[in-house]
Structure 1
Amino acid sequence: MDKFLEKVAVEILQDHGHNDTNLIVILPNKRSEIFLKNYLKEKTSGTYWLPDFYTTDEFIVHQSGFNLLDPILIYFELYEIHKSMQCDKAMPIEDFLSWAPMMLSDFNDIDLYKADADHVFKHLTEAKAIEQWNLSGAPLTPLQSDYVAFYRSLYSYYCELKARLATRNLGYKGMIYNFLSENTSILTEKLKDKKFILIGFNALSTSEKKIFGYIKDHFNTTFYWDVDEYYIYPEKTGLKQMEAGRFINELIREWKLSDIKWVSNNLKTSKKEIHIHGIAKQIGQVKFVSQQLSEWKTDVCEIDTAIVLADESLLLPLLHSLPEKTGNAKKVTFNVTMGYPLYNSSLSRFIMQWLNFISKSEERSSGKYDTIQLINLLKNPITKLVFEDDKLKYRNALTADFTNSNLVYLSEKDIKEIILTYEQPTLQRFFEILLIKNEDVPGFLDSLIELMQWVAEVVSTRYKNSNSLLEAQIDVTYSIVKKVHAMLQSRVHVFGLQALQKIFIQLFRRSEISLKGEPLTGIQIMGMLETRNLDFKNIILLSANEGIIPKTSEFESFIPFDIRHDNKLPMPKDKNDI
């Protein structure tokens, strides 16, 4: 059976030749772009001028003329708006950062799905006012009045944020998409004589539908899909519309497409060998993968094999469990196409523990430190890394000393007295950094940068480039810390350590450690969405459990479901259908 992207590569070469400089190819993600480029290379023997390749996000941002702004910076912008609107009643930045992400998410949805923002927020305000209405006719309490006033102010936040960003040619995703969908004539002016190939489009927002619908109507455009009759022609099997094919069917119907490339019947007709294994607990699953690979006796084409993680938190346990050889003693290689979440790393946990340790101390009038928090810091793998192997006994002895002190809180003097008894420069240097009184954010960040440089030095000396995961973890975290340090210098007066904690949480959750490898060799380890447009002969799917596929998660929004439904904003079901 021919692979989807391989078939696309053949058609591109047949229809457009080797030197079509006006061709633009748009795909959902980078992974499918890499594979398509490789197939084009394999199908050509001489010089070939590649088309322009974009993901959907890259194309829209590039053509809009706007720059996509980091969400953290947008939260700061929203807080500036909040201060200008509330004046003396403005809440502290650490409280505001708790719900700024939800506000931005709602603004993003409104713009992506081209809802009438004025109507949405007016409807929302009226609904919240009815909730607080007293049947007795009694006036609202100050708390109730503030509650309704907040919802009434959301439209002002929305308008002011867009106005501020637009003056600097900046925007968030929904704002940029909506702008281009309202100014599609830009595409005609900038992309004259261009031809488009759109591959594997599925769940598009209203703004995206309008943009790519315009491209379909005004440019030479070819669509390619890898779909099965079971999903887009359910009437042939006497079934209702399958959720997984709903979005593609909507695109075909709305764009009035007739010649659909390509619809197969592989789900029912192709030969498949499926094994289902019930395995207890997550660690059991990754150990089973290792066992399965080790027992495979036949030659397995690595590039045709994928391990798909429906639960991406299994990545690190899986990496530690993979075998070096298959059952026929053949060395096996792996390529990780997904990033390891930085939020789960030992270094990010250490930073959050340290921040909590310092901030809680400053909250106490005595300024003393929590003994349990201090012991947890000593047990963190990063602390273990800082101390050389022959110094680990001192770390363990320190933990025992702090425990045996039977004190809930320890003063800085108490801690230093214990440290001095060991007469170890490494211990003294570590605690000088750890206990420094940093009442201002830049001071803490300076100490954090010093500690991270120390950790990087230890890793470089001890592992000599043999621990790439730890080195990547340090590099990514260090770049985030430096970014925050530069970002906060002009805003010191409004930030405390609690606000810094929330900023780090946001950044760590959105950041990943890129596990660099050769993307076109080895068994591919990937998440569910990364498999789009790709074909494999052998697939091992982990965590095929209810609650994982589809994933259950809280849907955080200020806009309730009934108002979302009325304004055609995305609902939890839409995410499940994807």
Structure 2
Amino acid sequence: MPTFITDVLQDLKSKHLDFSEIIFVLPSKRAGVFLKSQLHNYIEKTSFSPSIQSIEDFVQDLSQLKQVKGIELLFQFYDSYKTITPEENIEPFDSFSKWAQVLIQDFNEIDRYLISSNAIFDYLGAIQELNHWSLQENKTELTSNYLTFWQSLNTYYNQFVNDLIKKESAYQGLIYREATEHIEAYIQNTNKTHVFLGFNALNTAEERIIQELLQNNLAYIYWNIDSHFINDQIHSAGYFARQHKQNWSFYRQNDFNWTSSVYREEKNINVIGCPKSVGQSKYVGHLITTLLQQSQGLNNTAIVLGDETLLTPMLNSLPNGIEAVNVTMGLTLKSVPLAALFEELFRMHKLNSKRYYFKDIINILSNQMTQYLLVSSDKIIQSIRHNNITYLTADELLNLADDSDINVLSLLFGDWETSISNNIKNCLKLIFKIKNTLDHLKSKKHLELEYLYRFNVLFNELANLNTTYGYIKDVSTLHSVYKELLNTETLDFQGEPLDGLQIMGMLESRVLDFETVIITSVNEGILPGGKTNNSFIPFDVKIENNLPTFKEKDAVYTYHFYSLIQRAKNIYLLYNTEVDALKGGEKSRFITQLEVEGIHDIKHKIVSPNVPKIEETLTIVKKTNDVVERLKEIAAKGFSPSSLTNYIRNPIDFYFEKVLGVKNAEEVEETVAANTLGTVIHNTLEDFYKPLEGKHLTLSHLESMKGLIDKTIAHHFAATYKKGDITKGKNLISFEIAKRYISNFLTTEIEVLKAGNSIKIIAIEVESHVSIDIPEIAFPVTITGKVDRVDELNGKIRVIDYKSGKVEQHMVEIVDWDLLNTDYDKYSKSFQILCYAYMLTQQDIVQFPLEAGIISFKNLKQGLLKFAEKESVYSRKKNHLISEETLQNFETQLKSLIIEICNPDIDFTEKELR
């Protein structure tokens, strides 16, 4: 397939030029690799290779300045800022960096387009003065400072530029401005032929340099534009080409090379809508598989990522049969596992707290990289969870660790307030410790070692910046600088640049042609990028000074898109059909434009993952011999009322909890849970009432209990909630609630006694273990449980169960005995208290008749909620006394339930919970 590059080389050969005397200048280094690979086809004799440069390198050579990039440029700007700003008005570096980066971008644009800084910044200052005019003579301090900032922009610019020139360094825009000053001297001292190819949007400095070389017959320029785009006056793909053709004086006497007509050739264009970004990646994998099955090679195929964050899922989605893949973009360093570790460290230490939050500690100890280093990480995590610790000091953390881990934990959790240089050194030490550990592993972790090397370079750069400039004063600023460096660092892929499938970003595709092109994320807001204005210069001022706006940036995207597809034969355009939080869902205007043009037949389709339909089925577990043996063990040990009601609720829950012994993972309880609060209340009442067994309750007993509430509850919180903090927040509220519940309960008891009633405490926290004779079951069966309280009120026996939650009277009433062991929602509370009454009567601890009920601490006003039998739901007549007949009815249902549980022919079948 003839490409733009081969067409250019053929034309140069036809001009009989000496290739060794040519300087090729291209938009990117990537295009230079493809150009170099084709040169041997057009050079007929042995000669030196021509010079091949990107436009940035060519202009930098012209300027004789060294380019300073990224964060170091920001530090140098801060130097200049401090030089001209009164000491009392100097901002800290951290806050300065937030606006300075935007200002540097504006400096860059102004210089690239050769705009007078005096004119534009004075104009901006005047605009702001007009916007904030006031009838009052004296402006507020805020207004004055604001206007001073705008009026100082030109001063900042001049100081910054002068300081950089003295050091023979510059940012890109200043390099372009200086290059234009040197072009005449360069022309006088060169006889080389310059070939510019594949350019589109040129800034003013580039235009001036190229035109000077053209006017002096030292250059050729080849445009990669189709006649369809340049002749259509409203087609934005030809926007810049039309301007150059119309405005350059060179084209008044010379031809415009070239305008091709390849775009109208027949193309296979497919527009495919896919859900989500990962969906696009998976479909690209499917497309590549299809191309391989059709025996098509991939040497002339390119995947162009509109959204470069898709690189990792794209690589993971490629089929295994690909022999060669070349990735022209790097993997961002912030996406590797080691970045997560350092992000956690910075986030934790910049809080400047002597106590670390347990989740931060666990995140760091659980990181893949720290797992290589630490022996006792799991032990520490378990200790934190078991003891319910929410905050730890560094010393407390070290006390939980093995001696071999002390050094590493000191690096991770030591004091970061000592000095910034020490913090950076600690990070470097940590990197080397991980490296040494990986070096000794039998299975070499080459990728992890590559990560470590790149982070070692990054932190050494941080150390150099801190040593040179000394502006990093705290961990927060260090974190900001670290993130700036991290965002610019990438891991480069190794591959053969000319063979196999090419994966690239939109900018890397400039000047290159492929037969098959797959473009992802062809969505509005991505291609093109949409309206973004990260600048201090307003839109109208940019228009006035011929600076690029979002309109020109959209035209750049349009050109890149169309230049990619103008020579391609097979084109696949993928877009995200799903509406995300900020972007996605709307296909790009480029797709609509292709449809409106009507030149090509475009095939549309929407694809979605093949998701198998999964029938929702309830879990069924067969009672194997092993399960039956386990049931025998449980029966011998004893079925508790709670386990039986758990079975009523859902047999599968009973199976997991009792048969398999599956427990919930132990987690740190940050806020007091309901069961913890209930345990504290139960244990407190046990302490108060246990010494009174066999005695009558008196007012003096209750008054003395009231005086012990705070101390006793604090003691049981410490025992149950362990090292959890109950001194603030929701936990303090829970602590106060527990006190209020106990106090209100004791007040209720006092009122009962003052009303002339007599209460005798029979037993507190009674451990019951009762055997049941069930002829249908061939092995021993027992039920077991702990009854909170048994007392005697005015001669009437009461079996009482405490509940810290809310219980209503209707929840302890029964109408239909046959529903007792099937309807959990209505009868679970009745089942439990009847079970307690049954066990106590079987042990002869209580005799008939008796009452049983629940004291709900959230419903104390109702007193004891007594169990009752009713003839019907609507009947007001209730029988609160539990007789022998009552418990016989219960026993029938109880035995029926246990028979069902132990019957090997009845499976554990999951209930569909409502």
Q: With structure 2 as the length reference, what TM-score do the two structures score?
A: 0.58
Matched, 1:323 2:319: yes
1:28 maps to amino acid: P
2:413 maps to amino acid: L
* Contact map agreement 2:62 2:182 (CA 8 A) in 1: no
Matched, 1:98 2:98: yes
Question: Where do residues 13-162 of structure 1 align in structure 2 (5 Å cutoff)?
Answer: 13-16=13-16, 20-44=19-43, 47-84=46-83, 85-134=85-134, 136-137=135-136, 139-162=138-161
Deviation at 1:108, TM superposition (A): 0.8
Deviation at 1:311, TM superposition (A): 0.5
1:341 maps to amino acid: T
C-alpha change, 1:40 and 1:206, in structure 2 (3 Å) is same
* Contact map agreement 2:70 2:485 (CA 8 A) in 1: no
- State how far apart, in whole Å, the 1-side matches of 2:187 and 2:49 are: 22
The match for 1:278 is 273
Deviation at 1:77, TM superposition (A): 2.0
Deviation at 1:462, TM superposition (A): 4.3
SS in 1 for 2:299: helix
C-alpha change, 1:44 and 1:444, in structure 2 (3 Å) is same
C-alpha change, 1:263 and 1:400, in structure 2 (3 Å) is farther
The match for 2:507 is 529
2:117 maps to amino acid: A
- State how far apart, in whole Å, the 2-side matches of 1:475 and 1:553 are: 38
C-alpha change, 1:357 and 1:206, in structure 2 (3 Å) is same
- State how far apart, in whole Å, the 2-side matches of 1:404 and 1:13 are: 79
- State how far apart, in whole Å, the 1-side matches of 2:89 and 2:514 are: 58
* Contact map agreement 2:19 2:43 (CA 8 A) in 1: no
Q: Which runs of 5+ in 1 are unaligned?
A: 235-239, 326-330
- State how far apart, in whole Å, the 1-side matches of 2:552 and 2:371 are: 45
Matched, 1:251 2:233: no
C-alpha change, 1:10 and 1:294, in structure 2 (3 Å) is same
SS in 1 for 2:127: helix
Deviation at 1:181, TM superposition (A): 1.4
Between stretches 281-290 and 240-249, larger displacement belongs to 240-249
- State how far apart, in whole Å, the 2-side matches of 1:541 and 1:515 are: 21
Deviation at 1:459, TM superposition (A): 4.2
* Contact map agreement 2:466 2:472 (CA 8 A) in 1: no
1:437 maps to amino acid: D
SS in 1 for 2:470: helix
The match for 1:228 is 226
Identity of matched residues, %: 26
Deviation at 1:203, TM superposition (A): 0.8
Question: Where do residues 421-500 of structure 1 align in structure 2 (5 Å cutoff)?
Answer: 423=402, 425=404, 427-438=405-416, 439-462=418-441, 467-468=446-447, 470-492=448-470, 495-500=473-478
The match for 2:705 is none
- State how far apart, in whole Å, the 1-side matches of 2:194 and 2:555 are: 27
Question: Where do residues 255-274 of structure 1 align in structure 2 (5 Å cutoff)?
Answer: 255=248, 256-257=250-251, 258-268=254-264, 270-274=265-269
- State how far apart, in whole Å, the 2-side matches of 1:530 and 1:226 are: 15
* Contact map agreement 2:25 2:54 (CA 8 A) in 1: yes
* Contact map agreement 2:180 2:209 (CA 8 A) in 1: yes
Deviation at 1:404, TM superposition (A): 5.2
* Contact map agreement 1:324 1:333 (CA 8 A) in 2: no
Question: Where do residues 196-215 of structure 1 align in structure 2 (5 Å cutoff)?
Answer: 196-215=194-213
Matched, 1:375 2:362: yes
Deviation at 1:273, TM superposition (A): 1.2
Q: Which runs of 5+ in 2 are unaligned?
A: 557-914
1:313 to 299, 309, 312: 309
- State how far apart, in whole Å, the 2-side matches of 1:540 and 1:286 are: 11
Give the structure with higher Rg (CA): 2
SS in 2 for 1:319: helix
C-alpha change, 1:461 and 1:251, in structure 2 (3 Å) is farther
Query: Which structure: greater helix fraction?
Result: 1
Deviation at 1:29, TM superposition (A): 0.4
* Contact map agreement 1:24 1:195 (CA 8 A) in 2: yes
1:247 maps to amino acid: F
1:428-455 residue CA offsets vs partner (Å, 9 max, x unmatched)? 3431210122331110111111111223
Per chain length, whose mean CA-contact separation is higher, i.e. which structure has more relative contact order (CA < 8 Å, sep 6+)? 1
* Contact map agreement 1:440 1:497 (CA 8 A) in 2: no
SS in 2 for 1:267: coil
C-alpha change, 1:373 and 1:58, in structure 2 (3 Å) is same
Query: Which structure: greater strand fraction?
Result: 2
Aligned-residue Cα RMSD (Å) equals: 2.2
* Contact map agreement 1:71 1:172 (CA 8 A) in 2: no
C-alpha change, 1:346 and 1:577, in structure 2 (3 Å) is farther
- State how far apart, in whole Å, the 2-side matches of 1:341 and 1:260 are: 40
The match for 1:237 is none
* Contact map agreement 1:27 1:199 (CA 8 A) in 2: yes
1:359 to 328, 350, 354: 350
- State how far apart, in whole Å, the 2-side matches of 1:471 and 1:573 are: 45
C-alpha change, 1:510 and 1:190, in structure 2 (3 Å) is farther
* Contact map agreement 1:10 1:40 (CA 8 A) in 2: no
1:454 maps to amino acid: K
The match for 1:334 is 325
1:445 maps to amino acid: I
C-alpha change, 1:491 and 1:532, in structure 2 (3 Å) is closer
1:251 maps to amino acid: H
Deviation at 1:73, TM superposition (A): 2.2
1:568 maps to amino acid: N
1:521-552 residue CA offsets vs partner (Å, 9 max, x unmatched)? 11000011111111111111111111111123
* Contact map agreement 2:75 2:469 (CA 8 A) in 1: no
SS in 2 for 1:275: strand
Matched, 1:550 2:532: no
C-alpha change, 1:459 and 1:261, in structure 2 (3 Å) is farther
1:282 maps to amino acid: S
